[in-house]
Amino acid sequence: MLAGGLIEAGAVVIQSFSEQSLRKVASINPNVPLVQLVWYSPESEESETLVEWTGVTPGPGAITDADFRAIRDIAVGIGTNLNYQGDAGIDEAVVQQAQANDLRVHVYTMNAIPAMEQLLDWGVDGLFTDFPDRLIRLTR
């Protein structure tokens, strides 16, 4: 099957932390679904305020509908971390806000069953995991 066939079959999704790279892919083939990856972490060791390390969005506490719509201009989804060193990053409200702005939400990398269950309860659209068997058991 040629690459074009994989795209039409829904078997290709390109994700990147680089907005510039996503825009380049979109210019080459606007039919490829894109996911903007983000990583939320404290702005400094002394701070509890989370920021996105590439600056593509503000931190979860300050992100707006306009920020999500800006991502939606180039991507079908947003991929994010749930926690940073055990502390909550995003919450259910962020998931719902992204989805209300027509973005799918994929959270990475979830390996613990309780976190998977929580995210499924929140209605995320996808999970990255090193243990797909665990996720399959939860979704049956």
- Residue 136 pLDDT > 90, yes or no? yes
**Assigned CATH for 20-139:** 3.20.20.190
pLDDT value of position 67: 97
Going by the DSSP 8-state scheme, the letter that residue 9 receives in this structure is T
Phi, psi torsion values for 15, nearest 5 degrees: -130, 145
pLDDT value of position 1: 45
Other beta carbons within 10 angstroms of residue 26's beta carbon come to 16
- As separate numbers, helices (DSSP H) first and strands (DSSP E) second, the chain gives 6, 9
Share of the chain above pLDDT 70, in %: 94
* CA pair distance 42, 123, nearest whole angstrom: 26
Give a three-class secondary structure readout of 11-33.
CCCEEECCHHHHHHHHHHCCCCC
Question: Which residue type occupies 25?
Answer: V
pLDDT digits over 64-109, tens only? 999 999 999 999 999 999 988 877 789 999 999 999 999 999 999 9
pLDDT digits over 46-57, tens only? 888 889 999 999
* CA pair distance 71, 64, nearest whole angstrom: 11
Query: For helices 65-72 and 92-100, what crossing angle results, to 10°?
Result: 60
pLDDT value of position 88: 79
pLDDT value of position 3: 57
- Residue 130 pLDDT > 70, yes or no? yes
Indicate the pTM of the whole model. Answer: 0.88
Contact 72, 65 (CB under 8 A): no
pLDDT value of position 47: 81
